[in-house]
Structure 1
Amino acid sequence: MTDEHPPSTTPPGRRRRAVVVGGGLAGTTAALRLADAGADVTLLESRPRLGGLAFSFRRDSAAGSLTVDNGQHVHLRCCTAYQWFLERIGASEQAPLQRRLDVPVLDAATGRLGRIRRTRLPVPLHLAAGLARYPHLTHAERAGAARAALALHSLDPADTGLDGTDFASWLHRQRQTPRAVEALWDLIGLATLNARAPQASLALAVMVLRTGLLSAPGAADIGVARTPLGTLHDTLARAALDRAGVRTHLRTRVHSITPTDGSDGSTGWRVSAATAGGGATGVPADTVILAVPHTEAHRLLPKGALTEPDRILGLGSSPILNIHVVYDRRVLHQPFLAALASPVQWVFDRTAPSGLTGEGQYLALSQSAAHQEIDSPVSVLRRRYLPALEHLLPAAHGARVRDFFVTRERRATFAPAPGTARLRPGSRTNLPGVHLAGAWTDTGWPATMESAVRSGITAARTALEVAGCPRDAETSHRIERRAVA
C-alpha cells in the first residue's frame, strides 16, 4: 500500500487531461472509464493494434487465408468486469456464455469421455450430480473431492496466510490422490492460473475455485468468442474509444514520464514517446495510467512512484504455447475438449471464427505452463502433438494436415507462485496523478482478461478520486463486486 496524498490540481474551466500508456484490455478499459467520466483522454500503444496479448492476425497458407487468435481465451459467467467490457464495446452477443456449464473431458489412456456439469440446484449441490457421474475418478476420489471442495469453501481468499503456501500442499493435506489432482484440480487450475498445483499460490487457487465453482450455480459457465479476438479487442474496442472521444495513437512507444509545473500553478506530467517513422511527441497530462507489463512499468515509473520499485520484477512470468492444426475434414465434434493422460491439455474448434471455408476444420490447442516446450522447434512439436491428437480423436486418423503452426507467449502471465500477493502493487502510487493497471496488479485475480479489465476500472476510479472527481465510483464498485446472479 502507498501513502495517501492530496488531490492533484487542475485549473478551473479545463477538462482533466489523462494519458493511458498501453492499449491492452487494462488500458482500453481505463481510457473508456476516464472518458465516460468527462476526462480528456489520450491512449498511447506501441503496437500497430489494440488488444495486448489477446489479439488476432492473418495467416495465408495452403489451407487458405485464416484469421488466427494468438491463443485461446475464454471467460466465465463470474467474470463480471469482462462482461461489462464486452457490453461497453458492443460485443456481448459475439462472446456468449454456455446456458449451463458443460466441459467434455477425454481420458486418452482409456478412451472414455466424461463431463464436468452443473445443475440449477443451489451451491454446492449444483455440482453434486456431475461429480457423482464423473468417470475419471473412483467413488472414493469423488467423495474426497467433495470434501475438499467444502473445505475450500471455508477458506477466505483475503487471508494473507494462504499466499504463503502452494495449492498442492493443501490438496495433499485434504488427501487428494495424484489422479484427483490431474483429473480435476489441475484441469481447472492450469487453464485459470497458468500453473500446476505445486507452483500455484493457495490464495489464488482458492480465489479462482471459490469464485468460479462455489459462488453461484452458474458462475463457471464458459464463454467463448464467436469472432476473432482482434474483432473484439481491437476493431470494436477502437470504435468505442473513438465514440468516447479518446485519441488513440498506435505505433507510439513511450520512453519517459517526467513531472512538470504549469505556469498557472498546476502540477502534472509529460509523457514522451517515439512515433512511427522515427518522430517524437510529448503529451501533457494531469493523470497518467501505466497499463503495461510489469517489466515495462518498472522501466517507465518515475523515481519515487513505488517505495520498492524492484519488488515487481519478482513476479516473473509463465508461458503459454499454442498449437494450431488445420485438417482437411472435421475431426472434433465438440466446441472444445479437455484431455487427460495426454500431452494435449485443451482443444478448441476455431473453424468458424477463423473464416476457414470448405470441409476442413481448424483446431487450436492451448498448453498452459509450457515451460519445457515453449522454445521447442515446430518440427518437434509436430511429431509430438499430431500423434497425440490422433490418439484422442479417432477421426483424425487418415485426415490430411493442411497446416500446422505454433504461436508462443513466453511471458503470457506473471508466475502465480506462493508469495505473489506481496509483489503485486495497487493502482495508486506514491506520486499524485500516476497510477498502475494491468492483470499483474493487485486485483485479487490471477492474470486473466477479467483481472486486466478490473485493474483498468480500479485505476480509473482511483485516478478520479485522487483528482477530487469520484463520479465513477458507484459504477466501478458495482462492476468490481464478485457476486453473480
Structure 2
Amino acid sequence: MSRVIVVGGGLAGITAALHCADRGHEVVLLEARSRLGGATYSFARGDLMIDTGQHVFLRCYTAYRGLLQRLGVAGSIRMQSRFRIPVLSADGRASLLRRNGFPAPAHLAPALLGYRMLTLSERIGVMRTALALRRLDPDDPELDRVSLGQWLRDRGESPRAVEALWALLAVAALNADPDEASMALATRVFRTGVLDTADSADIAIPQVPLGQLHGSAAHRALAAAGVDMRLRCRARAIRRCGAGFQVPLRESTGDSVRFADAVIVAVPHQAAAALVADLPVAGARAWQQLSAAPIINVHVLYDRPVTHLDMAAVLDSPVQWVFDRTAIAGAPRGQYLALSQSAAHEHIHTRTEDLRELFLPALQRIFPRARQAAVLDFFVTREPRATFRQAPGTAAVRPPARTGVPGLVLAGAWTATGWPDTTEGAVVSGARAAEAVDLDLRSQRGVEVTA
C-alpha cells in the first residue's frame, strides 16, 4: 500500500484525501489549524455561531455538491427552485432578477427586459451582450488578456449597465471589479453559471454554520475512510527521499519527519511555493504573481426584524450583498444581518468604528425599519487573502496539478481548474490531484495505466 501525504485540510485537501483513500492508498492529512475546512469556518460570539464569510453556491457546482453528499450534509443546504435575486437601491427602488421556466437562453429574457434598474435601451443592450457572451469559449487564452470591463465597453455597454448588472454579479463571483477581472474567468462565470443551462444559476445557501457543514462533517467522513488526520501539524518543507518524499513537521508535541510515496500540496499559493522551494518545480516563483484579493464581512445584530428578505443585492450604496443569518446563526432574538463585501481593498484596513459609521446609515437607507431598531452588536470579519487576484493574465500563471516531479501534485482553487477561486474550483482541484497521484503511483509499481 502506498502512502500519500496531503498537506492542507481545506476543501481541496479534504477532497484529495477522500479520493486517495477510495483508491486504496494510506493517507495522512496534515493541517496546521486545529480544525478542518480551510478558509470556510465558524466561531462563537455570544449566542451566535458566526461564519467568517457568507458562502453561497450555484446548482452548476456539481463537484462541490458531490462533496457535500459524500460528507453527509447535502440536506443542510437550501437550493432555490428558480434563480431569484432581489435588487435594492439606496433611493428606495427595487427590482427582481429571476428566471422563468423557458430553456436557455430564453430563461433570462423576462428578467433582463424587466430589470427596472436600467433603461429600456440598456436592457436591450444587455440582452445582446448576453447572447454574445454565450458564444465565447472560456478556455480561449485571448480572453485572459483582457478585462471584463474592457470587453463590455467594447460591446457598447453603458457605465450604468456595467455597474448595475455585470458588476453586481461579477464582483461577487470573482472578488474583483470588472476592470480588474479576467474576461476568461468572467466568461466561465456567466456561461457556466448563468447562460448555458436554465437552472445553472439557481442559488443555494447553507442552512448550518460552515464549521458544521465542512469542518465537523469532513472530520467524520475522513475518519470513516481511514484517513490519519494530524491537526495542529505544520509541514515545514517537502524534500526528495529516494523514490519518495520526506516532510519535516512542527507539531504541538515537537518536531518530527513523515515519509511518503507521494505528496499533495493543497495550501494557498504563497505557502505552496515555500513548501516546494527545495524541489525542481517549474513556475513556482511565478505563483506569487497571483497575489491576493480581500473580502470583508460586516455583521449587524438588531433588536428586531428590519427586513423580510433572506438575501438581496444592493446598488448605489456601500453595501453589496445582505444575508439574513438569524436562524442559521441561532440568534435567540432580533435579526442578524451579514453584509458580504467583495474586492474590499478600500475597507480591509479600515477601523471597525469607521465601518460602523459607514454601513449602519447605509442599512437604514435600504431598510427604513432599521431606523427604529437598536443595534445589539456590530463587528467585522476580514479575509485579506480571501482569493487569489483573478486578473487578466492569471491563466498563464495558474499551474496544473502535475508539477513535473513524479508523485508531487498541487491542489487548490488557485490551480488551473478553469474555474474562478470558488468552492467548486477547490473540489475539482482535489479530485484531479488524487487522480494524478494515483496514476503516478501505479506507474511506479509498473501497473498498466490506461486513459
- TM-score relative to the length of structure 2: 0.97
* Amino acid paired to 1:435: V
- Residue 180 of structure 2 is aligned with which of 199, 219, 233? 199
Equivalent residue for 1:12? none
Structure 1 residue 132, shift from structure 2 partner: 1.6
1:179-216 alpha-carbon deviations (Å, 9 max, x no partner): 11111100100110000110001111011100111121
1:414-436 alpha-carbon deviations (Å, 9 max, x no partner): 00111000010000011111000
CA distance in 2, matches of 1:436, 1:45: 16
Between 1:205-214 and 1:460-469, the stretch displaced more is 460-469
CA distance in 2, matches of 1:344, 1:224: 19
CA distance in 2, matches of 1:179, 1:85: 39
Asked if residue 383 in structure 1 is aligned to residue 364 in structure 2, the reply is no
* Counterpart secondary structure, 1:334: coil
Asked if residue 50 in structure 1 is aligned to residue 20 in structure 2, the reply is no
* Counterpart secondary structure, 1:188: helix
Structure 1 residue 120, shift from structure 2 partner: 1.7
- Residue 106 of structure 1 is aligned with which of 84, 88, 96? 88
CA distance in 1, matches of 2:59, 2:283: 36
- Residue 14 of structure 2 is aligned with which of 13, 28, 37? 28
CA distance in 1, matches of 2:280, 2:70: 31
* Amino acid paired to 1:77: R
Structure 1 residue 96, shift from structure 2 partner: 2.4
Equivalent residue for 1:19? 5
Where in structure 2 are the equivalents of 1:409-424 lying within 5 Å? Answer: 409-424=383-398
Equivalent residue for 1:144? 125
Asked if residue 270 in structure 1 is aligned to residue 256 in structure 2, the reply is no
CA distance in 1, matches of 2:200, 2:266: 28
Structure 1 residue 365, shift from structure 2 partner: 0.3
CA distance in 2, matches of 1:44, 1:421: 28
Where in structure 2 are the equivalents of 1:113-262 lying within 5 Å? Answer: 113-261=94-242
Structure 1 residue 350, shift from structure 2 partner: 0.7
Change (3 A) 1:365 1:226: same
Give the alignment's Cα RMSD to 1 decimal: 1.2
* Amino acid paired to 2:247: V
Asked if residue 95 in structure 1 is aligned to residue 77 in structure 2, the reply is yes
CA distance in 1, matches of 2:213, 2:263: 25
Alpha carbons 1:304, 1:430 under 8 Å: kept: no
Structure 1 residue 108, shift from structure 2 partner: 1.1
CA distance in 2, matches of 1:326, 1:336: 16
Structure 1: any 5+ residue segments left out of the alignment?
A: 1-14, 262-266, 471-476, 478-485
CA distance in 1, matches of 2:210, 2:298: 17
Equivalent residue for 1:403? 377
* Amino acid paired to 1:464: D
Structure 1 residue 302, shift from structure 2 partner: 4.6
Where in structure 2 are the equivalents of 1:472-483 lying within 5 Å? Answer: none
Equivalent residue for 1:69? 51
CA distance in 2, matches of 1:131, 1:215: 16
* Counterpart secondary structure, 1:96: strand
* Amino acid paired to 1:324: H
Alpha carbons 1:305, 1:434 under 8 Å: kept: no
Between 1:146-155 and 1:296-305, the stretch displaced more is 296-305
Equivalent residue for 2:299? 324
CA distance in 2, matches of 1:302, 1:173: 42
Change (3 A) 1:83 1:374: same
Asked if residue 336 in structure 1 is aligned to residue 314 in structure 2, the reply is no
Alpha carbons 2:238, 2:278 under 8 Å: kept: no
Alpha carbons 2:3, 2:27 under 8 Å: kept: yes
* Amino acid paired to 1:45: E
CA distance in 2, matches of 1:331, 1:114: 19
Equivalent residue for 1:290? 265
CA distance in 2, matches of 1:302, 1:130: 51
Asked if residue 434 in structure 1 is aligned to residue 388 in structure 2, the reply is no
- Residue 353 of structure 1 is aligned with which of 292, 310, 328? 328
Misfit runs of 4+, over 4 Å: none
Alpha carbons 2:10, 2:38 under 8 Å: kept: yes
Structure 1 residue 95, shift from structure 2 partner: 1.4
* Amino acid paired to 2:97: I
CA distance in 1, matches of 2:364, 2:10: 36
* Amino acid paired to 1:100: R
Between 1:460-469 and 1:281-290, the stretch displaced more is 460-469
* Amino acid paired to 1:102: R
Between 1:288-297 and 1:126-135, the stretch displaced more is 126-135
Asked if residue 392 in structure 1 is aligned to residue 397 in structure 2, the reply is no
Alpha carbons 1:252, 1:273 under 8 Å: kept: yes
Alpha carbons 2:65, 2:74 under 8 Å: kept: yes
Structure 1 residue 469, shift from structure 2 partner: 7.3
Asked if residue 281 in structure 1 is aligned to residue 256 in structure 2, the reply is yes
Alpha carbons 2:239, 2:279 under 8 Å: kept: no
* Counterpart secondary structure, 2:442: coil
* Amino acid paired to 1:213: V
CA distance in 2, matches of 1:21, 1:224: 28
Q: How many residues in Structure 1 have an aligned counterpart in Structure 2?
A: 445
* Amino acid paired to 2:328: P
CA distance in 1, matches of 2:166, 2:275: 38
1:104-147 alpha-carbon deviations (Å, 9 max, x no partner): 000112x1111110012111100011112111011100100000
Structure 1 residue 256, shift from structure 2 partner: 1.4
Alpha carbons 1:287, 1:463 under 8 Å: kept: yes
Change (3 A) 1:208 1:305: farther
- TM-score relative to the length of structure 1: 0.90
CA distance in 1, matches of 2:252, 2:363: 43
CA distance in 2, matches of 1:155, 1:137: 25
Identity %: 49
Structure 1 residue 166, shift from structure 2 partner: 0.7
CA distance in 2, matches of 1:136, 1:23: 42
